[in-house]
Amino acid sequence: MSAATEGFLAMLAAERGAAANTLAAYRRDLAQAEEAIGDLADAPRDAVASLAGEWASLAPASVARKASALRQFFGFAIDEGWRSDDPSGALPAPRTRRPLPKVLGHDQIAALFARAEEEARTNDPKAVRLLALIELLYGSGLRATELVALPVHAVPRDAPFLTVTGKGGATRLVPVGGRALEALSRWLALRPADPPSRFLFPSGKGQHFSRVRLFQLVKGLAGRAGLDPAAISPHVLRHAFATHLLEGGADLRVLQTMLGHADISTTQIYTHVDAARLVALVNSRHPLATRTTSD
């Protein structure tokens, strides 16, 4: 990669606190663009425009992501004095529709937890660990990356909250229910102390439990519970947390805080699943709801 793109990535890490996965995605997109048109700090506008052809076979969401990475780079390049022009206008701007989240029903959640609880009754450390993991995914709405990287000190001592570090290094307090606290207590009693680790869910060599392994375990549990593994993942359990809280009457702003969304528009995607409740709310709470047409 060119020195300019390396400098941009260094800025993302140092000034914006971009996560490792985010940096890896930016690095990949910028490297592929440079392979196609050369050093981005010097690439002429027509070369930038030619990327539309390079990306023709990609999904609109992928094109939008790559174009966003380049727009941010070009803005940085202008700020640094590497470019005097902004060729971002030559990039394609596909209209993308954000996919609606997969939604698990209450019966599916019940089946998943029934199986996890049954397996954990043996007090096998791996089964108790899995129960604690899914309790935190569904009970607190954590992202997979947030969950596997939780340090031991994040576990509440005298308050029912977890201290979670989310995207961009932002820290938030997440409530933990009684079931999750009980599962965590059981796991801490069985958690291996050797080798020492600062992580709540340790792996070998002082590292934390991997995100890939978490996905594998959740899908395996789904299969044993008689559910379709393809329909269930850690992220789907996070969606279920949000959806079911909204069904129960949770405030959207409160949910935004718990999920760690920077923009409430991201949280609003969950409102589609609760249309019936919203109609009932309007019919019961609107000032004109109690008036008849003859009034």
Last residue of some domain: 90, 121, 154? 90
Distances in Å between the Cα of 203 and the Cα atoms of 19, 39, 116, 133, 275 are 20, 40, 21, 14, 43
- Whether this prediction's pTM lies above 0.85 is answered by no
Reduce the DSSP state of residue 165 to 3 states and report it.
Answer: strand
Query: Is residue 269 in some structural domain?
Result: yes
Q: Are 120 and 258 found together in one domain?
A: yes
We report the CATH number of the domain holding residue 65 as: 1.10.150.130
Both 239 and 173 in a single domain? yes
Positions of E strands within the chain: 161-165, 171-175
Do 176 and 121 lie in a common domain? yes
In a domain, 42, yes or no: yes
What is the pLDDT, as a whole number, of residue 160?
A: 80
**Residue 197 maps to which CATH number?**
1.10.443.10
Is residue 140 within 8 Å of 151, Cβ to Cβ? Answer: no
Q: What pLDDT was estimated at residue 143?
A: 85
Residue whose entry in the numeric block shows the structure tokens 């060729």: 87
The answer to whether residue 291 sits within a structural domain is no
Which of 143, 208, 239, 244 is the catalytic position? 143
- The answer to whether position 264 is within a domain reads yes
Residue 159 lies in a domain: yes
Looking at the structure, tell me whether residues 189 and 250 fall in a common domain.
yes
239 part of the active site: no
Q: Which of 102, 167, 172, 211 is catalytic?
A: 167
Q: In the annotation, is 143 catalytic?
A: yes
Same domain, 206 and 154: yes
Domain assignment present for 101: no
- 63 and 179: one domain? no
Sort residue 84 into left (φ over 0), alpha (ψ -120 to 50) or beta. Answer: alpha
Active site residue 157: no
Whether 106 is catalytic is no
Out of 28, 61, 90, a domain closes at 90
Considering the domain architecture, whether residues 71 and 181 belong to the same structural domain is answered as no
176 CB-near residues (< 8 Å, 6+ apart): 136, 139, 140, 156, 160, 161, 162, 184
Number of independent structural domains in the chain? 2
Separation of alpha carbons 169 and 244, rounded Å: 27
Residues 84, 173, single domain; the answer is no
Neighbours of 209 (CB within 10 A): 20
**137 is a domain residue:** yes
Q: Given 55, 90, 125, which residue is the final one in a domain?
A: 90
Q: Is residue 98 part of a domain?
A: no
Task: Give catalytic status of residue 261 as yes or no.
Answer: yes
Q: Based on the fold, state whether residues 181 and 206 are members of the same structural domain.
A: yes
Q: Indicate which residue of 27, 71, 102, 261 is catalytic.
A: 261
SS (H, E, C) 217-279: HHHHHHHHCCCCHHHCCHHHHHHHHHHHHHHCCCCHHHHHHHHCCCCHHHHHHHHHHHHHHHH
The answer to whether residue 219 is catalytic is no
118 in the same domain as 242: yes
- Mean pLDDT per 10-residue segment, the chain (295 residues): 90 81 91 94 93 89 90 92 91 69 81 95 95 91 87 78 76 84 92 86 82 92 93 88 79 75 67 57 66 54
Q: Are residues 217 and 181 in the same domain?
A: yes
Pair 86, 115 in one domain: no
Containing domain of residue 243, as a range?
106-280
Per-residue model confidence (pLDDT) at position 100: 53
